[in-house]
Amino acid sequence: MENGELIKKLVLLTGMLGIPVFSLWAYDAETTHPALTQEIIQLFEHQFPHYQLTETEKAVLEQGSQEEDSPNLRCLAHFYDPIYEEGLFNNISAKHWAQSPQAQGLLDIKYNFLLGNFSQELFKAKTDFSFGRAVYEYVYGDKLRGLESLGHILHLIEDMAVPPHTRNDSHALGSPYEEYAKRWTKDTISVTEKLLAEEKMAYLYDNLDDYFYHLALFTNQNFFSEDTILVEKYLEPIISYEKKETLSDGVEHTFGFNKINSRLIEIEKNGEFDFLKRLEKQDIFIFGDIDNLIFTDYWSALSKEAVLYGAGVMKLFFDKVEEEQQTLVLYNKNKSGVGGVAAKVMEGIKKTLAVVSSLTEKVQKSVSKINSQDLMANLNQSEKMKRKGRRKEKQRKRK
């Protein structure tokens, strides 16, 4: 997708939706995201003890995970449907947003205004917190700026553990599950402790694409969002089995469970018989219950996956830092200009100059082939003809 088309889509989409962008947020930026990031750091340091971060570095990571939602327009790029490989309403996906300094740089007006400056470097936009920028800054620039960018990436990974963000559900009016998840703060969360008790370790892949894909797929195929319950678009999740439970209201409720034994939905059985259609009326599916058992199960499974994948992304980051120190790939890419825009402009100028030079050379060659004596003879002949014409005119007047 061209950068121009991207920014048009972002702006048009905001207007077309006719809703505040903040309603597209996933986990709460002030509570849930820093809490999950805290847990990711803990698991990472436990599994890879030779990497130990200072309190300042941890705080910067958490700060980055909070600020990915600011400005609000960034939220439009926080969706990734792994089934159809697309973002919200076919906009840029979170997977690509996380790795595109050009796309993120579009939000920096001053940076874009200076595109005509051929000395402009790729990793200069203030709004760019892409994965490549994180590695580049950590190696060559400001390490804290690099960790802040990594925090932004962790935010995006955490969003892949939110069902609406992997099932292209804009949840314009909000999400009951995300509202429930706000209660988990740095003081109340305990995901890593449970993972260590279960002897779970971070998932390890050699590229960021796999982290986005596998976590988004887990979320997409195991959980509903409020507006995508048993829709035809997605084959999963399915209700694997049903179970009745008595809740705090003293009433027996029926729950549908998924294949990983999490409560998926509450089912209100409709026993009325439709004599015209000769069948029972369709059951009613309720997204949530009075004791929050459904959302507790959602959080239990999804928060663990977010931390396992997030810790793996941190390991990938430090692996890429070591790789960059050897290869200088990002260093050279940064000097090549904004995604090659400057290079393309220069290439166009060079081609134009080459054409002009070629034409000039052809004209010069053509002129050089003209015999100077022939040229003078032609001029003399032309002058003789003019004189002869004037004499004839004078003779005519005399008559």
Confidence of residue 247 (pLDDT cuts 50, 70, 90): very high
Output the pTM of the full model.
Answer: 0.79
Rounded mean pLDDT, 291-320: 98
Q: Scan for tokens 């939905």, then name that residue.
A: 265
Rounded mean pLDDT, 66-94: 93
Q: What is the pLDDT of residue 36?
A: 98
Q: How far apart are the first and last CA of the chain?
A: 84
Q: What is the pLDDT of residue 342?
A: 46
Q: What angle (nearest 5°) sits at the alpha carbon of residue 146, between those of residues 108 and 95? A: 70
pLDDT tens figures, 201-216 = 999 999 999 999 999 9
Confidence of residue 348 (pLDDT cuts 50, 70, 90): very low
pLDDT tens figures, 162-202 = 999 999 998 777 789 999 999 999 999 999 999 999 999 99
Give the type of residue at 248: S
- Give the residue among 399, 206, 215 at the shortest CA–CA distance from 307: 215
Q: What is the pLDDT of residue 11?
A: 46
How much is the mean pLDDT over the chain? Answer: 83
Whether the pLDDT of residue 351 is over 80: the answer is no
pLDDT tens figures, 85-132 = 999 988 899 999 999 998 999 898 888 776 545 456 789 899 999 999
Confidence of residue 27 (pLDDT cuts 50, 70, 90): confident
Q: What is the pLDDT of residue 375?
A: 46
